[in-house]
Structure 1
């Protein structure tokens, strides 16, 4: 069942970077309401160059058009930090469903193998794998990574304001923060799919915030708890779709909700999307935020670190899939 008449909020976040204190607080109030209800919202006024967005989609299409042998040579199984290619049906995000009908390419900050963080075994930290035959692929995706990384940090500061905290409350979490850019390709859904087969099974995201670019084909759906149905989240020109991940839900004692979502590619065409997962400083401690506890209420989760949380999530979703 879908409840397509329901819509996710659209929030202009321009003031988070360029507005007065009162204007930033007004945006933060909208963020807080969206995070408490759906945990999903669109953002406009983000300042990311449309030409850079177009270039990232072009780079993604070029990569997934490469021969299978060349893509497989960059399989992320060859990377100790989960960078590179992930073939079709390598991940199962919805328990009990068939593996996801998608292929992807993982990119992170370029960290040399001899960096102290890599030598210390920091999770998902290290050098990328690059398709050398694609001119400008690395420079384009790294430029996009840096631009959306800065936007993600601004959103996190807005989240602090939304929780009645100082804007710099999360600065230690933002310092040396980890993040992952993932290029996704969804082939056309077969005419006779396996029972329950989807482009991406119903799941919640692992980390802090996800900033998603969609192409113009649609297919993303978000679970609406109030009406117990799926909301279509169609593309909105010039926007990102943003959602709360499990880490921020845990940090806020579930005041901010990490919501199930899925992708079903019924377009009859190849679908592309580009999620950016803002994870945070791997060593930062995540302990229930005091303003998220009501009188007499106890934290629902023990303290953890960003890295330990991420490792647990990866173990869960790759338990029956290729690493």
Structure 2
């Protein structure tokens, strides 16, 4: 084992083949007893998070949603979307047991033998809506992230029953179903804040025409100070609903000061963030913000985001309601699939993708 590992680590191409092309992921390196970070994962100094770059006495808003009908809840959601782009929701109605189950499921999937997980790589998966991989876009990234993932696009229950891995299928579907009310309540509040009176079928396709759930796995890293789990980026969703475990590691860039703020794990909370699509639709009233995930040197960490997207065939741009008082549109009307193609064709690049959409 040690000799085989040494042989792999001695050649950067062999590392890439082992992790990416052969589908072993960074967990495969950890399982072989890696003691030192391969060069591909060593981030440039400006991308590393240190105690000197982090503010610890500030935090994103925590919103109590025990009464969704209270106008104060909607007001807090809209203000957080404007001022932070991130917030946490507690007492949201999703049972703790469901949250615990999906975290346990994450660990269970990534504990499968490599041969089982390889069935879902880009080259092997029988469905384009099921994808197991590592980092973000390894072929386009200068430096890789210390993360493996499973991505599941929800088209229908029947399609999921056919193609999603049996080790996590039922739990993922149950989690999506339980989060649906939370998602709709949040979107209703955000859209009302843009003077949109109701979410009709057309608006629903624009806001949540596509759903994707990810299982993210961040193995214990031998040199966490040199690496990152996920590099700085903004999401391209309308909103993202994230479940963290109790380890923590998510950092958000504060809009006013550009300081990096840790998003502390809160038991039972869901972390919500605004994506580029909603920033565009709101004509910059709501903000998608940069965030990133550190590597961890002591434990294996998981997180489970649900990404709500427009349908690929949707055309997005500032909603007419955001321009009714004579405001000038900041963004053009663009096909959403064109936007996603740009995002996934390169490595994480802060918020550069949104520049493509500006007039």
SS at match of 1:222: strand
Corresponding residue for 2:148? 103
Alignment partner of 1:85 is 2:132 = yes
Displacement of 1:7:
1.1
Corresponding residue for 2:176? 145
8 Å contact 1:215–1:272 — kept in the other structure? yes
Alpha-carbon distance between aligned partners in 2 of 1:96 and 1:130, rounded to the nearest angstrom: 27
| Closer, same or farther: CA 297–97 of 1 in aligned 2, 3 Å | farther
SS at match of 2:60: coil
Alpha-carbon distance between aligned partners in 2 of 1:275 and 1:281, rounded to the nearest angstrom: 18
Q: TM-score, length-normalised on structure 2?
A: 0.74
RMSD: 2.8
Displacement of 1:110:
4.8
Instruction: Show CA shifts across 1:57-92 (max 9, x none).
Output: 111111101111221122134345341311x33536
Instruction: Show CA shifts across 1:254-311 (max 9, x none).
Output: 2211100000033510000001101133333323124434865421211124433333
Alpha-carbon distance between aligned partners in 2 of 1:37 and 1:92, rounded to the nearest angstrom: 33
SS at match of 1:273: strand
**Selected match of 1:199 from 229, 236, 240:** 229
For structure 2, the residue ranges without an aligned partner over 5 or more in a row are 1-52, 350-359
**Selected match of 1:286 from 298, 306, 316:** 316
Between Structure 1 and Structure 2, the one with more helix by share is 2
Alignment partner of 1:131 is 2:177 = no
Alpha-carbon distance between aligned partners in 2 of 1:292 and 1:101, rounded to the nearest angstrom: 40
| Closer, same or farther: CA 310–191 of 1 in aligned 2, 3 Å | closer
8 Å contact 1:14–1:44 — kept in the other structure? yes
Alpha-carbon distance between aligned partners in 2 of 1:107 and 1:211, rounded to the nearest angstrom: 15
Alpha-carbon distance between aligned partners in 1 of 2:306 and 2:295, rounded to the nearest angstrom: 20
Alpha-carbon distance between aligned partners in 1 of 2:147 and 2:232, rounded to the nearest angstrom: 13
**Selected match of 1:51 from 97, 106, 128:** 97
Alpha-carbon distance between aligned partners in 2 of 1:42 and 1:92, rounded to the nearest angstrom: 31
8 Å contact 1:71–1:85 — kept in the other structure? yes
8 Å contact 2:137–2:345 — kept in the other structure? no
8 Å contact 1:11–1:30 — kept in the other structure? yes
- Name which one, 1 or 2, has greater alpha-carbon Rg: 2
Corresponding residue for 1:219? 249
**Selected match of 1:74 from 113, 116, 120:** 120
Alpha-carbon distance between aligned partners in 2 of 1:96 and 1:76, rounded to the nearest angstrom: 17
**Selected match of 1:228 from 222, 240, 258:** 258
8 Å contact 1:216–1:235 — kept in the other structure? yes
Q: Which stretch shows the higher mean deviation, 96-105 or 59-68? A: 96-105
| Closer, same or farther: CA 104–316 of 1 in aligned 2, 3 Å | same
Moved over 6 A (4+): none
8 Å contact 1:173–1:284 — kept in the other structure? no
Alpha-carbon distance between aligned partners in 2 of 1:318 and 1:83, rounded to the nearest angstrom: 21
8 Å contact 2:234–2:289 — kept in the other structure? yes
| Closer, same or farther: CA 271–157 of 1 in aligned 2, 3 Å | same
Aligned residues: 294
Corresponding residue for 1:121? none
Instruction: Show CA shifts across 1:19-61 (max 9, x none).
Output: 2xxx2x3222111111111100001121112111111111111
